[in-house]
């Protein structure tokens, strides 16, 4: 599923879905035996600086093998992010290097954005590098 980022944001559209993490190839590559489902809502908006933004909310529970005892460990995932959209790579670079700018992330407004790849990227960043029980 692909969207035009700027149109999606300007029209304040949204997409809601649930993903089985076993179907996410890149997630499976980094976390062996991962199971569960994560729901997401991606919505477009225009922020107070009149910049297009994507708002992504991800929530759900996943299980995977503990790195220490190899028993299943359950992880609750819940995260909200707002990603500003920049017209060019140079604008994004300038924003990321500006110490007075609160933007620490962003994307370039390519014509099309693969929603599932974008959501999977964010899921990968949310999964702990070494999954383990608190007492392990």
DSSP 10-73: HTT-EEEEEEEGGG-HHHHHHSTT-EEEEEEEEEEEE-TTS-EEEEEEEEEEEEEE-TTT-SEE
Give the per-residue pLDDT at 66: 86
H or E segment and range at residue 116: helix 115-126
Q: Report whether 19 contacts 38 (CB < 8 A).
A: yes
Give the per-residue pLDDT at 102: 57
Cβ count near 91 (within 10 Å): 16
The residue assigned the tokens 């300038």 is: 94
Instruction: Give residue 16's pLDDT band: very low, low, confident or very high (50, 70, 90).
Output: very high
Helix (H, G, I), strand (E, B) or coil at 6: helix
The whole domain housing 78 covers 2-84+112-126
pLDDT digits (tens, 9 = 90+) for 40-59: 999 999 998 898 999 999 99
pLDDT digits (tens, 9 = 90+) for 61-107: 999 888 888 889 998 999 999 999 988 888 888 777 766 665 567 88
Q: Percentage of the chain surpassing pLDDT 70?
A: 94
Give the per-residue pLDDT at 96: 74
In a domain, 94, yes or no: no
Q: What whole-number distance in Å separates Cα of residue 26 and Cα of residue 125?
A: 11
* Total domains in the fold of the chain: 1
Bridge partners (DSSP) listed for residue 36:
62
Give the per-residue pLDDT at 134: 84
Question: Per the structure block, which two tokens stand in for 35?
Answer: 């199971």
In a domain, 35, yes or no: yes
In a domain, 131, yes or no: no
pLDDT digits (tens, 9 = 90+) for 55-69: 999 999 999 888 888
Question: Per the structure block, which two tokens stand in for 116?
Answer: 């599932």
In a domain, 89, yes or no: no
In a domain, 53, yes or no: yes
Give the per-residue pLDDT at 33: 82
């Amino acid at each position: 599923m692909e969207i035009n980022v700027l149109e999606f944001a300007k029209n304040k559209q949204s997409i809601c879905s649930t993903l089985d993490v076993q179907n996410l190839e890149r997630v499976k590559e980094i976390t062996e035996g991962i199971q569960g489902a994560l729901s997401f809502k991606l919505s477009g908006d225009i922020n107070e600086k009149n910049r297009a933004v994507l708002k992504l909310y991800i929530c759900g529970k996943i299980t995977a093998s503990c790195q220490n005892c190899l028993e299943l460990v359950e992880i609750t995932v819940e995260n909200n992010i707002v990603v500003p959209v920049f017209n060019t790579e140079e604008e994004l670079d300038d924003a990321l290097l500006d110490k007075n700018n609160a933007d620490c992330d962003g994307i370039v407004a390519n014509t099309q954005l693969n929603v599932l790849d974008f959501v999977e990227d964010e899921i990968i960043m949310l999964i702990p590098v070494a999954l383990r029980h608190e007492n392990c």
